[in-house]
Amino acid sequence: MPKYLDLFAGAGGLSEGFIRAGFEPIAHVEMDVAASYSLKTRMAYHWLKRNNKLNIYTQYLNGEISREEFYEKIPKPILNSVLNYEISEETLPAIFSEIDAMLNGKHLDLIVGGPPCQAYSLAGRSRSESKMIGDKRSYLYKLYAEFLRRYEPEYFVFENVVGLLSAKDEDGTLHFENMRKLFKDYGYSTEFRTLNASDYGVLQNRKRIILIGKRGGHEGFYPEIPIIENKHKAGELFCDLPAIKAGEGVITPVPTKPYSGKYLYKSGIKEYDLEPVTFHQARPHTEQDLEIYRIVVETWNKKKERIAYTDLPERLRTHNNTKCFLDRFKVVAGNLPYTQTVVAHICRDGHYYIHPDIKQNRSLTPREAARIQTFPDNYYFESVTGKPSRTLAYKQIGNAVPVCLAYSVAKALRNFWTL
């Protein structure tokens, strides 16, 4: 089984896809504390599943045992394979030391991961063209390259936003080309594609750069990643979830409704009918927001039109900067084959992710957002303290790589190359 290291791992969307494709994680490195706990819990889940002990996981989700008690039942090496570090020049020696111990002389076949993408995001740069210049996050690829130098994997997979292609360094040169040059200096040929998750089993419009590196001088090694024909509509993502209104629902497991569709099984989101889900809890909303939501959903249902902020009744427009808020309120249209891109901003408010059912009249729950990102329903999103946090769950989900996109890339790697 090919062994890999996941850098800037987040809550583990990329890793989940690689595990599903038959890769073995040696370690994950992630700076966010809550996301690190999510990774630990997921690694615990996989260990329990391999050892036919998933009843312990169920006890934990049901609140019968605390996180601390749950972790006591898991072998320490499993939990310790998640390294909660900010990757920097100062922390590299400590991170290398821990990974070396985990490898214990074994060779690493693959490194995956993508540094935080906010510095490259087109949305961020449109507000401030010079924002990326001097942002230390935009140079994290140099630290990524240090892992390539030390472990010399045969391949690496580098994921990021499409804004990376047009980002410029301080001297005006293209950041992406400078990055590829460094990887070449470190002994790696690189090829890349712009992939849309909607072509790979994800009901979401989400374009990402997937750069693949191969050790040595090579050409034409980017694997064929078959496009998956989509015959489904986004509404299927929510059809078996209990109907709830704003402020309703619970974090703890609740059974789903009977489901006779195919997508939720095909995508790996759902394992069996009536399978319980966690984090199906809606945030509360003000009366004003609820009124706006009703208008937005009604306009879509009747006219199939999106509504601009300036089209709202004047009494509902409370922001002077109408240009900034023009596209602020958006329904996740259940009758389209894909949704809008889920991003981390969903943790601040849900205005861009309004539920298509006007009777429920609310923004999406974390579980609904997780389904858009193709996380399995049994995936649990942790907090810092152990007390569940809806906000931190939204943030982790929005920052993630969709699991089915990761799986498509990982499966193509396994099929195309001999590791």
CA 397 to chain centre: 5
Query: Do 412 and 21 meet the contact criterion of CB atoms below 8 Å apart?
Result: no
Nearest to 209 by CA among 154, 146, 132, 141: 141
Report how far residue 400's alpha carbon sits from residue 113's, in angstroms, rounded to the nearest whole number: 11
Report how far residue 60's alpha carbon sits from residue 74's, in angstroms, rounded to the nearest whole number: 12
Report how far residue 34's alpha carbon sits from residue 43's, in angstroms, rounded to the nearest whole number: 14
- 295: which 2 tokens? 């208008």
**Options 117, 239, 324, 404, the catalytic residue:** 117
Tell me, yes or no, if 117 is annotated catalytic.
yes
Report how far residue 402's alpha carbon sits from residue 29's, in angstroms, rounded to the nearest whole number: 18
Report how far residue 192's alpha carbon sits from residue 190's, in angstroms, rounded to the nearest whole number: 7
Q: 3-state DSSP helix/strand/coil percent for the chain, to nearest 5?
A: 40, 15, 50
With b for 16 or more beta-carbon neighbours within 10 A and e for fewer, the 66-89 pattern comes to: ebeebbeebeeeebebbbeeebee
Report how far residue 209's alpha carbon sits from residue 215's, in angstroms, rounded to the nearest whole number: 20
Kindly list the catalytic residues.
117
